[in-house]
Amino acid sequence: MKRDSRDHLRGAMRRRSVVIVDLARHPARAVAIGFALVVAVGSLALMLPIATTSGEPTGWVTALFTATSAVCITGLVVVDTAAHWSMFGEMLIAALIQIGGLGIMTLATLLTLTVSGRLGLRARLLAQAETKTVTMAGLPRVVRKVVVFSLTCEALAAAVLTLRFMLGYGEPPGRALYLGIFHAISAFNNAGFALWPDNLVQFVGDPWICLTIAAAVIVGGLGFPVVFELLRSWRRPRHWTMLTRITVAVTGLLLVVGTLAFLATEWDNPRTLAPLDGAGRLLAAFFTAVMPRTAGFNSLDISQLHSSSWLVTDVLMFIGGGSAGTAGGIKVTTFGMLAFIVWAQLRGEAQVNIGHRRLPGSTQRQAIVITMLSGALVAASAYTLLLLTPHSLDQVLFEAASAFGTVGLSTGITADMPAAGHLLLVALMFVGRVGPLTLGSALALKERVRRYERPETRMIVG
């Protein structure tokens, strides 16, 4: 009997070792499994009667949708967060958002180190010189920095919001602190959950609320490597890595273009910007341009925007924010690389150069693959939603882009969808959160050197 027990224990330990080694060799699989487990636990917890204001258990589809939206830091909802969920439920949602935000930043760093470790010596030295990444030995220090940085940013945002809610809106200190902490966590992690039925529409003209939340969204969406490099050498742009240069440049460009586009299309719209004064219109347009970075807060009624504004938002949501941050989408770095690829092709150049660096062909292919697959996924999801719902193409496309980009903005049709539509959005949020990150690492890890080349052939393009 003792020998059988020992054999059983050894077998269990061997199986556990095999699983650990398998996950180490396939980090993308580990990321997906980790997020799926958190979503499953969160769904079960949200189904408890204590999580609702009515004391009744929540259906599994609603619980699964809410848990996925929180862990994937999206912000799409099928029920009113403040009305349906109790304080326990709201705190649980905030905890899931925090786990999702810290998890994605930490896992992005882990995957970066994993990819770096799988490269050859020469390529690894070049990668470290370009990105200033650390080795696996310094991983605990990096994780601590990520956690401390995240909590510090959330604390600063919470302090400002708490004082504003207390002094500007007469909220009791305890309630003001609760609102400040919840919305600071939701903003920095680019989640977009709010505790009012109209989200932040009632604060459309309040710069203290809007600018604080916008700043938290931008900082969280830039990504850990970029923010820390900016903190180290913000006065010396020439010393920035290419990752930081592209992230900052494209983010700034999209914010300016988005703000101008919303001002142009919504200036005379009586249901959005028209009732506001000049400064209020600028603030609301800027806030609306920031949120597709990807946080689902809105100070304007999204359902009342013009279709042209929906299209602009679709593009911004699809692009998303910075790499290794809390934002979703294909990432501004991918978009920036595609722009340089197009520019090089238009100029007839054989190589794609960014500044004084040459972009490898493998990286170009990765950017194209991620963009094409993401676009195909959004298009297929929009087509499926057209079949499942009676809504128009611009509405379902907006919903699909929002779910994939883990944004959380909606034209107001989310709650009206059937269960099949909700499950489709759940899958889209999960893939949008985990997919681009793991796909990028998987493509880099799969790269191999071919010892021979086949004869070249020419095809007609266009």
Determine the average pLDDT of the residues in 289-296.
Answer: 88
From the CB of residue 195, how many other CB atoms can be counted at a distance below 10 Å?
17
Output the pLDDT for position 131: 39
- Give the range among 254-268, 287-301, 342-356 with minimum mean pLDDT: 342-356
- Give the range among 25-39, 111-125, 221-235 with minimum mean pLDDT: 111-125
Determine the average pLDDT of the residues in 195-205.
Answer: 93
Residue from 275, 264, 278, 320 nearest 295 by CA: 320
Q: How is the chain split among helix, strand and coil, in percent rounded to 5? A: 70, 0, 30
Output the pLDDT for position 105: 57
- DSSP states of 24-50: HH-HHHHHHHHHHHHHHHHHHHHTSGG
- Give the range among 21-35, 269-283, 412-426 with minimum mean pLDDT: 21-35
Confidence band (pLDDT; 50, 70, 90) for 19? very low
Of the CA atoms within 13 Å of residue 284, those in its CB half-sphere come to: 29
Residue from 418, 410, 371, 373 nearest 394 by CA: 410
pLDDT at 229 over 90: no
Write out the H or E segment, with its range, that includes residue 354: strand 353-354
From the CB of residue 325, how many other CB atoms can be counted at a distance below 10 Å?
29
Output the pLDDT for position 235: 79
Per-position b or e across 94-113, b if 16+ CB within 10 A of its CB: bebbbbbbbbbbbbbbbbbb
Output the pLDDT for position 18: 43
Determine the average pLDDT of the residues in 138-161.
Answer: 83
pLDDT at 204 over 60: yes
Output the pLDDT for position 288: 95
**What pLDDT, in 10s, does the model give residues 414-431?**
989 999 999 999 999 988
Residue from 204, 205, 207, 212 nearest 180 by CA: 212
Output the pLDDT for position 296: 85
Determine the average pLDDT of the residues in 152-176.
Answer: 95
Determine the average pLDDT of the residues in 94-100.
Answer: 91
Output the pLDDT for position 148: 85
pLDDT at 23 over 70: no
Average pLDDT, the chain: 83
Output the pLDDT for position 24: 46
**52 or 16, which is more confident:** 52
Output the pLDDT for position 434: 77
| Residue 152: exposure state from Cβ atoms within 10 A (0-12, 13-18, ≥19) | exposed
DSSP structure class, residue 358: E
Contact indicator for 242, 355 with CB cutoff of 8 Å: yes
Contact indicator for 191, 74 with CB cutoff of 8 Å: yes
Output the pLDDT for position 27: 54
SS3 of 190, please? coil
Distance spanning both ends of the chain, measured CA to CA: 74
- Which residue blocks in 268-418 are alpha helix, DSSP H? 278-290, 307-319, 332-346, 361-388, 393-404
Contact indicator for 332, 254 with CB cutoff of 8 Å: yes
Output the pLDDT for position 128: 41
> Chain-centre distance of CA 148, in angstroms?
20
Determine the average pLDDT of the residues in 97-107.
Answer: 75
Contact indicator for 336, 246 with CB cutoff of 8 Å: yes
Contact indicator for 66, 46 with CB cutoff of 8 Å: yes
pLDDT at 12 over 70: no
> Chain-centre distance of CA 349, in angstroms?
34
Residue 130 CA to residue 245 CA, distance in Å, equals 12
Residue from 101, 72, 67, 76 nearest 302 by CA: 76
Output the pLDDT for position 174: 94
Percent of the chain exceeding pLDDT 90 equals 52
pTM of the predicted model, to two decimals?
0.84
Distant-in-sequence, close-in-space partners of 66: CB < 8 Å, separation ≥ 6 = 43, 46, 58, 77, 78, 79, 85, 93
Confidence band (pLDDT; 50, 70, 90) for 400? very high
**What pLDDT, in 10s, does the model give residues 301-350?**
999 999 999 999 999 999 988 876 777 888 898 999 999 999 988 888 88
Output the pLDDT for position 438: 62
Determine the average pLDDT of the residues in 1-21.
Answer: 49
Output the pLDDT for position 49: 95
Residue 374 CA to residue 387 CA, distance in Å, equals 20
Give the domain ranges of the chain: 14-446
pLDDT at 1 over 60: no
